[in-house]
Structure 1
């Protein structure tokens, strides 16, 4: 029976931590451990975690100075004993059968590197979280896999874990690119197994333009090979942009011609009619 390590970094989310850990406790698949990483929280995260340590010995706890999400995940995974890893942010939740269904998918197809599921939003925004289907091209456009997906610890080790240079966000996107750009299949379960809490003051919403630019620039340099393979070189991109601009310009010219004809024939006729009536 394979072991799954659920990694829960927590930074000032003590008020949500109980819900996240309760969703882990309720898993149908029971051979798991859950490592809570307190990333220098200033709230009562430690007190909440201690309650869970007493409740079930499968819960474990690590405290460190604040070093960011990528580092907190890496610290938790480095201590994990499971063959499979499932990151779970402290303000999110998983369904009781998510782990079991994901492991079943891995058992049926050993070429899989990542298994994730359908997702639903709750909190400030509700409803299904619509994401593009997985292809490497779609992944080169934007992040299309949320962090709470199962993968093997050995694959995390092979790419050096989460890149801690991604300190302002987008660390999940970088991780999936690093993990998948050299191959490996991905499966999305036809099951809502992940619940994503939406907040007005989320890390992503608070990312400044400068930090977002830094993250994208870093991604572009580190994984230039991936982006060129999926989207073409900057020469090809420039040519595509010029083609689009030319097409749009021709379209505008064509639309202007139609409008001119319309104005001359229809409006001219109408005005002529008005003059006749007035006469």
Structure 2
């Protein structure tokens, strides 16, 4: 306490000077409209800059949430567009009510779970991803996994809190895909090498296909609904036996930058798989 008093006594002139300066500025800005307007303008500008900086910081930290919402919205929109296009082809005389019913039912058969990628391999012959959601969160094998730019893979194994996913970049991966606006389909497989490309095999030779065509999931499996984007046709060639096309597909998913995904579960998946397994006995 004594030291504090000595400090104030020692620098009392500075404190008095500062106090008088503050009083002088208050009197100046209160008594003169010109100085008052300059002060208020400057204060408003500084406050505006502070608010702008605060908003930029807040927006930056909200980007992750915005990306999550966009990922979910993109997946729903892709599925709705695919279903609507297919339905409109069958019946061009539908009224608006029917169209809305079809739109709402686009993903009624599926349940969607959020997950984050905590491990990912790219350069092996058989690549896998590890997700931070497992059996305790409702995840089970054979569920489809989708990222913000397209399909990622299929759930292979689960533990209570984690899931192992067979990436598209895996020689065991075999996903039914087709060209958008066409019912002809083939099977997407990856050949070890470039993580940007995979191959659509057994695609019918009588089907029309052009470079740049969009490749989507066909819906001919329990893992993925129809219409989720896979990539674009980059190159066409004949298969080894000459009976079908071999399409080189540039994948829309950047597997070196996959962080958040959605796991898709078809509600009747177990029933369908059980029926198919019994038919093979």
Coarse TM-score class (shorter-chain normalised): under 0.3
Q: Going by fraction, where is helix more abundant, 1 or 2? A: 1
Q: Going by fraction, where is strand more abundant, 1 or 2? A: 2
| Structure with greater contact order relative to length (CA < 8 Å, sep ≥ 6) | 1
